Amino acid sequence: GDIGMVVRRSEDKGKTWSDRVTITNLRDNPKASDPSIGSPVNIDMVLVQDPATKRIFSIYDMFPEGKGIFGMAAQREEAYKQIDGKTYQILYKEGEEGSYTIRENGTVYTPDGKATDYRVVVNPVKPAYSDKGDLYQGNQLLGNIYFTSNKTSPFRVAKDSYLWMSYSD
């Protein structure tokens, strides 16, 4: 289903509450084979506050489109790869062996390390990070790497659980 991360804040021990703030709500797959599970899912949020800086951290799970933990691959898929001491997220391309990687500025690299003209939104600018994972070829939006069914993107991430973090400032 469509589960985003939202918070409300009270600064008077619960007497009054702020408006809801949506931390993240990834966009739905408009062509999902099952619209009831056609969205990447964020769930299981925990909040902690740094007592010195007052910064609030939100830590939560992210699952690609599907049924959360029940939608993970039968055989574990690698989600990240180390190259020259740096860790990069892996992308899988249907019908191909080897793993592509998302590198600096969201540029997608081939399994043999060549830059492509594909780019993934890794620093989202839209509210609630709704554009995170969008895949472009040049200026053309192709789809989203977190979609798994009837996808228009040639790439997808590993069907795994991911740990994401956001903070208040």
Domain range annotation of the chain: 5-167
35-54 pLDDT, tens digit each: 777 888 888 999 999 999 99
Task: Say whether pLDDT at 71 is over 80.
Answer: no
Tokens representing residue 2 in the block: 């469509």
Q: Could you tell me which of 56, 73, 55 has the C-alpha nearest to residue 64?
A: 73
Q: CA separation (Å) from 73 to 34, 41, 64, 91, 157? A: 18, 16, 11, 14, 11
Provide mean pLDDT across the span 43-70: 87
Q: CA separation (Å) from 61 to 4, 64, 84, 111, 117? A: 10, 10, 28, 27, 30
149 with 38: CB under 8 angstroms?
A: yes
Query: Given this model, what pLDDT does residue 42 score?
Result: 85
Of 69 and 9, more confident:
9
Query: Given this model, what pLDDT does residue 169 score?
Result: 78
> Under CATH, to which class is 5-167 assigned?
mainly beta
The pTM of the full predicted model, rounded to 2 decimals, is 0.86
